[in-house]
Structure 1
């Protein structure tokens, strides 16, 4: 089919008028958000460990429950924020309502974390009150062994767009997408020269997929079989030029995390005896 110059002009005008100023702003705002494009919906019993981290009624990051009162997330989510400013919502796939809200007693990020880096982008949130252990909608992730080998692919969970069409709003429910894990050599292409301890980082993505993580969903869990969490999303994603997600390798932080969990447990026991 051939088009005249007038036809092209009409098509261009139609496209410009359809995407009005409000819509363009909405698209820009979405691209700045931390979203998953597409993916599959997740029922709460499919990811009972997932939580949303909220500030001023806005979703800022995702996280996962290590225990009923400890949340694992990215250090970039909480380093510059007071614990009193945050709430954690669990027991639901929605980030705006339902489930249970918990306040945070303290936040601890890895002491080696530097803004903009990925190797140590991990943090724990110690909740003021635990989630109910008898709640069927609440569960926990497992940490990988220190010497664990990364799988070939990983499932990443988060909230975001159900489509990349401009008229689709942010989904209310949790979604997940499966991405391939890159080789160390390929991953190194997406890291800055200043990034140290590159074995503490891994990358995933799939340029052939429409359904993929968008921007970065920081703090989101990268899960393999049996709810083992191998990574925390740090940066990147399908909305970036590289369509690559950069993740902090949790196997390298298992000892640090377990030491903190033991400290929290001792604190809880001391609190009960006094």
Structure 2
């Protein structure tokens, strides 16, 4: 795999400075990266309007409608990819030398993986999705299926991962889920028997940025309930023990 065969995909809304920071970090550490940004923010808060010079270094897709959601936005990015591989990123990620991209790519090439994630500082550890209570509750917990050195196979990685474009086009994100889409995407990857793994010595910096315009869009639990009910679950247990109900 060559870097020219990878497209970095970013979905953003109402965090133009954060998206600018990520794109700049990609160019700082990767030579001529292919970058697609999908923005479904309001026109006055769009990345391309706030940072036009940075946006010129990307393919920017400004959605016609505001708040189409993560599912629609990410699928639009994936559909626009022309390369064999894609690397998904959140708009509040920052690339640093700790990504160890050459090592990361080598592992993807040489190991039995369909989707290989990186760590996010102390987060992004290998995670399992296990049904409880006769399949009525889904348990999100730390764990792994097997390990080869720093690479651990599991059910769920961070939102920073590398995969073949066709793999993600087949799986896609549920477009009804505007948020709380992460676990549901990986649960379907598990059902599809995709090989998901995390490279424990490759890191992306997760430098969270919030705003008054962004915060209400993220915290809409009705979409978590939709995902749970879709798969027949009445509740979810998080790694820390918190239980939320559909």
TM-score (norm 1): 0.28
Higher Cα Rg, which structure: 1
TM-score for both structures, normalised by structure 2? 0.30
